A and B are shown apart, each in its own frame.
Chain A
């Protein structure tokens, strides 16, 4: 473990003390989930052991007759606001700031072409939204840095072609994103907000390398020493050692891995497998597959792990007229314990709070 992660480790210890198992049984988990083909965001509550309930549906967008594609969701660390990217604009997308709970708009910032995922560092002063430009020419795109107090887009940092999977490490010192069309992992310094390093994932993939990767996500490990990147077209999840800045491990993940998350203690890795409509759970230490859970609908998309590490909450897009679904998976047993339908093409998801 490298030095800067000591604070995080201390916090994880606090977490472990703060969530005794008997208490966790009565907890409620609140999440926001975006429905990309419905221009809606659903607020859901899961009471441990009970049902997953849609508490509210929040409509979004400027025009009824245009689908504006709510895609990425992020929660402000203090919980006061949540943030949503709208992929389709005129033509650029936007970042919309909502007051949590009231779910009223508190600000809007212009972004680039089809902005996707959003990352907010622990200090909460800025957001980094990747302009994925899913459907434009395959030219380098940008990460937009937005000041969240004023919702002012301060800068567009050029990264790579079709950036996705915007995530900060635990202490906010580094930001990572992956480039779906040029197979890079890009690191941005959390203080200067400039690109510091790039890793060619194809050249660095452990043998048998050379295949396609199309990385779609980044998830830094809480130990601060590594980041996990799924190769959506390579059916593998890569572990990148941040000190050596190279791929050090491949975890086989058949079925087009898409989004990732880790349990807060860093022991389990979760991936939505978009192509096979499953959620996979792996032991981080051994790389062993622990569970493979079928989803109720096709096209699994987002996954988050609850702060107590008990549950994974997964969004599933569906196809055509299928409703989007949100599923709750108990991580330990690898079983689905609840689900709920929301608008079509459920995608971005963010946890608001855990109560109880």
Chain B
């Protein structure tokens, strides 16, 4: 039996309850209505996909009397698979599986009852095999994988049995590892619940009589990507291009490799990289034939020394982003924003970076001026606002031709009220990340009259955006779980413009916590996008006692975007003790802020593969300690920028710093 009565007026407000409890005044109505248990009818049910049923619930008090209360029905594990009408208890099965349906009594004791709903999976529809079949050679072994789909087009995790049609031609093991033994036609079958997926191979005798292998370089350094190119030839000297070649590696590192990382790695495409100096032999194999090539790997020797240059202290409020530029008067200036403060922004003369001079400041109605950017000609500064008291945030456009006397030209907040966290200026347009879900394009050709000309928003469910960076008319947006989006805003070949941004490509990296992205066209010809995570330990439960900085996590993913249709995640820069934040790339060097891990400088020359942290590519690490900082002696590096040979960076707890990299001095005995 299901009851649908309205809630009786026996309940009290929270404050009233608290007062009654404190003063121990009994409430007869409350006691009379207490639900002790809920029974759901039926206790279990089995449905087919597409079937409906209705469940009901009854509430009882401690004495077994029925209590009339309304119920609310739902299923936590049924989302998208089992629809539950919260009021009527009607359920409808859309996908197979085991689900729990909860009937919650809307009464003060929060008692619920549960029912098990079993929805039979639809029959298996098809089994797809990872390879397509075709010519194959005796002796060759390749692992195959099977993916099983049911009639609802859902991927299913069910046992798969592998067989071949003729074991004299080829055999397969339970993992799909397929080996050809003799010539002939053979079917490879993967069977799941009676449904067969099959491909056909025509196996021929292995024609290879000679193997050769060539390394792209005979000597390299740790971190260098070396390509090994094998050649298989038949008796007539012709290349056999369609035989599967495998690679193996014999490592002889100079250092004894402990178990934390391998001394080197090679992938199925013959791309090799070493983490340790030493001698490495790569073997390319086909059945009956092998070839070897040996390379020598030397230490990378890129470390440099860091020389402190100057400090522009900000000690009363946390510092956010920075921008450094050459002003119209030929002097060098920097602008720094603030975070969780009082809406201040600071201008500095950094012509002598050893002695930065505060030239002007601005306070706007905001708590955070997270991002600060300067137009290409150095005349316009734009500040993002968050936490405005009016809740109308937007941007502030500032005349900064004279950084000693900056003047606000205009503000713009139309439909930007949710807070602009990041922005970029490109070709007289401000690209403002708006409310965390899209970017708006604001024309500032007349900075006194800014106006929106375009906007861009992803189309995925629950999409979000955090940052935007633009190079040569291509925007790179960082979109948390949606990864990076590459968007033509006038510099691409898709007809995009500020008024009509057109997406070119999108890539979701491993992990999906994309916070910042920086494009880099390497002298090697490869085009990389560096995608930085931002992952933090939640600030719950008093983890910030004394307001010390918390631990941040995540790393920088390196994506080879040379072919935008087929981007590939090829490398990472992951340091064990901290997480990534903002970055800057120039002349084969990555300058990266890693919060409590400080400022890191990484050699990104050559092609990239593997974890760059372990390859001897780190040029420098610098941690800025300020005993008078917002939090004393607590490096929490926010973002770097290289400018005229000086490396400027924002420190969350202490302002802006400048350092210089110097060649490491070697003592000569």
Contact = CB atoms under 8 A, between A and B. Distances in A.
The majority secondary structure among interface residues of chain B is loop
B11 A64 contact: no
B194 to A, nearest CB: 37
A278 B552 CA distance: 41
Given A64-B536, A134-B391, A122 B12 contact: yes
Interface string B19-34: 1111101010100000
B104 A147 contact: yes
Interface residues of B, number: 83
Interface string A116-146: 0000111111100000001110000000010
B387 interface: yes
A64 B363 contact: no
Nearest to A98: B540
B110 A190 contact: no
A354 B18 contact: yes
A8 B632 CA distance: 55
Contact of B25 (A18, A75, A96, A173): A18
Contacts of B342: 320-322
Contacts of A237: none
Contact of B418 (A8, A135, A319): A135
Contact of B534 (A37, A63, A67): A63
A67 B367 contact: yes
A37 B364 CA distance: 15
B581 interface: yes
B341 A91 contact: no
Contact of A58 (B13, B16, B74, B542): B542
Given A134-B418, A171-B9, A307-B18, A65 B86 contact: no
A92 B436 CA distance: 9
Most B C-beta atoms less than 10 A away, residue of A5, A192, A355: A192
A305 to B, nearest CB: 8
B457 to A, nearest CB: 10
Interface in B104-149: 104-108, 110, 112
A6 B29 CA distance: 12
B567 interface: no
Given A64-B550, A65-B339, A124-B108, A152 B76 contact: yes
B9 A7 contact: yes
Interface in A155-188: 155, 170-173
A138 B541 CA distance: 36
Contacts of B72: 125-126, 145, 147, 154, 193
Interface size class of A (residues with CB under 8 A): 35 or more
B386 A67 contact: yes
The majority secondary structure among interface residues of chain A is loop
Given A77-B13, A307-B18, A320 B536 contact: no
A168 to B, nearest CB: 8
Contact of A4 (B9, B480, B539): B9
Contact of A104 (B10, B22, B364, B540): B540
B343 interface: yes
B542 A78 contact: no
Interface string A82-123: 000000111110001000000111000000011000001111
Given A78-B108, A88-B436, A105-B541, A64 B480 contact: no
B7 A172 contact: yes
A154 B85 CA distance: 10
B87 interface: yes
A229 to B, nearest CB: 19
A39 interface: yes
Nearest to B464: A91
Given A79-B14, A104-B540, A65 B581 contact: yes
A263 B17 CA distance: 15
A76 interface: yes
B11 A123 contact: yes
Contact of B14 (A75, A134, A317): A75
A321 B364 CA distance: 10
A329 interface: no
Contacts of A317: 389
A200 interface: no
Contact of B539 (A64, A147, A148, A321): A64
Interface string A180-214: 00000000011111100000000000000000000
B25 A191 contact: no
A78 B17 contact: yes
A6 B9 contact: yes
A17 interface: yes
Contacts of A288: none
B541 A104 contact: yes
B366 interface: yes
Interface string B624-635: 000000000000
A135 B209 CA distance: 70
Contact of B19 (A18, A66, A103, A172): A18
A78 B29 CA distance: 16
A227 to B, nearest CB: 15
Contacts of A104: 540-541
Given A11-B16, A298-B389, A125 B105 contact: yes
Contacts of A308: 19
A322 B15 CA distance: 31
A342 interface: no
A322 B343 CA distance: 11
Contact of B16 (A39, A299, A307): A307
A59 B21 CA distance: 29
Contacts of B552: 64-65
B540 A191 contact: no
A325 to B, nearest CB: 14
A38 interface: yes
Nearest to B17: A77
A134 B417 contact: yes
Contacts of B540: 59-61, 96, 104-105
A122 B20 CA distance: 13
A353 interface: yes
Given A154-B86, A194-B87, A67 B387 contact: yes
A264 to B, nearest CB: 7
Interface string B346-376: 0000000000000000011111100000000
A136 B341 CA distance: 25
A149 B534 contact: no
Interface string B466-504: 000000000000001100000000000000000000000
A108 to B, nearest CB: 9
Interface in B387-402: 387, 389, 391, 393
Nearest to B419: A135
A11 B104 contact: no
Contacts of A65: 339, 534, 536, 552, 581, 638, 652
B435 A191 contact: no
B220 interface: no
A15 B106 contact: no
B542 A121 contact: no
B29 A355 contact: no
Interface of A: 4-8, 11, 14-15, 17-19, 36-39, 58-67, 75-79, 88-92, 96, 103-105, 113-114, 120-126, 134-136, 145, 147-150, 152, 154-155, 170-173, 189-194, 264, 298-299, 306-308, 317-322, 344-345, 351-356
Given A37-B340, A155-B86, 14 more contacts: A17-B25, A37-B367, A65-B638, A90-B436, A125-B104, A125-B105, A125-B106, A135-B417, A136-B435, A154-B72, A193-B86, A320-B363, A320-B365, A354-B15
Ranked 7 nearest A-B pairs via Cβ: A321-B342, A135-B418, A122-B11, A7-B9, A191-B70, A307-B15, A18-B23
8 contacts: A7-B8, A11-B20, A18-B19, A38-B340, A78-B108, A122-B14, A125-B110, A317-B389
Interface of B: 4-23, 25, 27, 29, 70, 72, 74, 76, 86-87, 102, 104-108, 110, 112, 317, 339-344, 363-368, 386-387, 389, 391, 393, 417-419, 421, 434-437, 462-464, 480-481, 534, 536, 538-544, 549-550, 552, 581, 638, 652
